[in-house]
Amino acid sequence: MTKQDPRPLTLRDVSEASGVSEMTVSRVLRNRGDVSAATREKVLQAAKRLGYVPNKIAGALASQRVNLVAVIIPSMSNLVFPEVMTGINRVLETTDLQPVVGLTDYLPEKEEKVLYEMLSWRPSGVIIAGLEHSDAARAMLKAAGIPVVEVMDTDGLPIDSMVGISHRRAGREMGRAILEAGYRRIGFLGTGLGLDHRARKRFEGLTEALAKGGIEIADQEFYSGGSALAKGREMTAAMMTRNPDLDFLYYSNDLIGAGGLLWMIEKGYDVPGSIGMAGFNGVRLLKGLPRQLATMDSCRDEIGSLAAQIIADRMKDGGEAQSIELTPKIDFGDTLRRG
């Protein structure tokens, strides 16, 4: 318990303790090159006994290789991003790559800062959410000379590779399904559309599809912050009070949609008979609710794993830049009539 020796152990310490040259110790510890079983054993013993932990900083500098993959996402509390991470993790665990996460809070300036910070560690690749980045960020990404996978969204041009779904198309398909089911007075409830590009694109896709049917959004309401379920209730109550004749509500995510649905059930609305509802994401968390909201899967896990796979393949020189668009189907749940 005596806190002596603030100097961390080095290869040299292991070398001296084992009577083997630093170079050979290094080889043993990295499993590289041929080393006799006897020497190997000696080294391993010494390393373990001393409690040696290699210094990757020095290693990375010397070898010019870093087994880190920068993952840059807006937030951890959005619940979709942890799931993307899960997919990334599952694939990277099969390689010697390690994810390192940076958070942007949906702020372009912060994204730029975080990116700079991460790139300064010279990662082997970058997985970054979205296709919208500041010019400086794009420049950094291009100049980094490493594989870059932009994820979640495919409505735009990637810097290098991309994996995601078309949110515009998702909005359009939902719009079409809504019309086909015969709904006509449609309200939209969502996050402020300013910084969440994907929510904005879904909204645009929706309005586009409705326009083709000669319909316009009848009402809309935005929020930010707070507990999503509770917000969904509030917003729904507000909108239905203001506009009692609405016959469909499209939410920008499942959580606020679920809040809205709970409110509808309590108030005794006939869903989906007299009013339909739909959200977005396909959040599994909500599976236990009394009724299932119509939604569309955002393929988070698969996006994560595909992105990680692209990076991993590139490391082995086996990969090319790729653009992958996944095409989720509508889940009608209990709140959207089939057309």
Partner DNA sequence: CTGAAAGCGCTAACAA
Partner DNA sequence: TTGTTAGCGCTTTCAG
The entry of DNA, a copy of itself, none near residue 77 (CB within 5 to 8 angstroms by kind) is a copy of itself
Among 35, 101, 195, 326, binds a copy of itself (CB under 8 A): 101
Q: Where are the alpha helices (DSSP H) in 164-299?
A: 167-180, 197-212, 228-242, 254-267
Interface residue with DNA, options 2, 5, 6, 32 (CB under 7 A): 32
Half-sphere exposure of 246 (CA within 13 A, CB side): 26
Taking the complex as a whole, the smallest distance from the CB of residue 66 to DNA amounts, in Å, to 11
Binding of a copy of itself by 169 (CB under 8 A): no
CB of 32 to a copy of itself, least distance (A): 16
**Two tokens at 290?**
């009394």
Count the neighbouring beta carbons within 10 Å of the beta carbon of residue 105.
12
Residues 292 and 285: their CA atoms lie apart, in Å, by 11
Q: Does 49 bind DNA (CB under 7 A)?
A: no
How many residues bind a copy of itself (CB under 8 A)? The answer is 57
**Closer CB to a copy of itself, 10 or 220, in the complex:** 10
- Phi first, then psi: give them for residue 110, nearest 5 degrees: -70, -35
Among 1, 3, 7, 266, contact with DNA (rule: CB under 7 A):
7
Q: How far apart are CA 191 and CA 200, in angstroms?
A: 9
Cα(111)–Cα(105) distance, rounded to whole angstroms?
Answer: 8
23 forms part of the interface with a copy of itself (CB under 8 A): no
Query: Going by C-beta distance under 8 Å and a sequence separation of 6 or more, which residues neighbour residue 201?
Result: 153, 155, 166, 167, 168, 171
- Asked if 29 interacts with DNA (CB under 7 A), we say yes
**Residue 21 CB, nearest distance to DNA (Å)?**
3
Interatomic CA distance for residues 271 and 265, integer angstroms: 8
Which residues 54-93 are close enough to bind a copy of itself by CB under 8 A? 54-58, 60-61, 66, 76-77, 79, 82-83, 85-86, 89
CB of residue 100 to DNA, shortest distance in Å: 19
Task: From 115, 118, 124, select the one nearest 68 (Cα to Cα).
Answer: 124
Binding window for a copy of itself (CB under 8 A); candidates: 12-20, 184-192, 194-202, 280-288: 280-288
Cα–Cα distance list, 192 to 115, 175, 183, 225, 253 (Å): 24, 20, 24, 10, 12
* Coil vs helix vs strand at 218: coil
Burial of residue 255 (number of CB atoms within 10 Å: 0-12, 13-18, 19+): buried
Determine if 144 is a binding residue for a copy of itself (CB under 8 A).
yes
Tokens (6 digits) for 26: 């290094």
- Contact residue for DNA among 1, 38, 143, 157 (CB under 7 A): 38
- Residues 282 and 255: their CA atoms lie apart, in Å, by 10
58 or 100: CB nearest DNA: 58
**Residue 39's binding partner out of a copy of itself, DNA, none, with CB under 5 to 8 Å set by partner kind:** DNA
61/211 with CB nearer DNA: 61
Judged by beta carbon distances under 5 to 8 A according to partner kind, the member of a copy of itself, DNA, none in contact with residue 194 is none
**Distance, CA of 163 to CA of 167 (rounded, Å):** 12
Binding positions for a copy of itself, rule: CB under 8 A: 3, 5-6, 8-9, 51, 53-58, 60-61, 66, 76-77, 79, 82-83, 85-86, 89, 98, 100-101, 103, 116-117, 119-122, 139-140, 143-145, 227-233, 255, 258-259, 262, 266, 284-290
Binding positions for DNA, rule: CB under 7 A: 7-8, 10-12, 20-24, 26-27, 29-30, 32-36, 38-40, 54-55, 58-59, 61-65
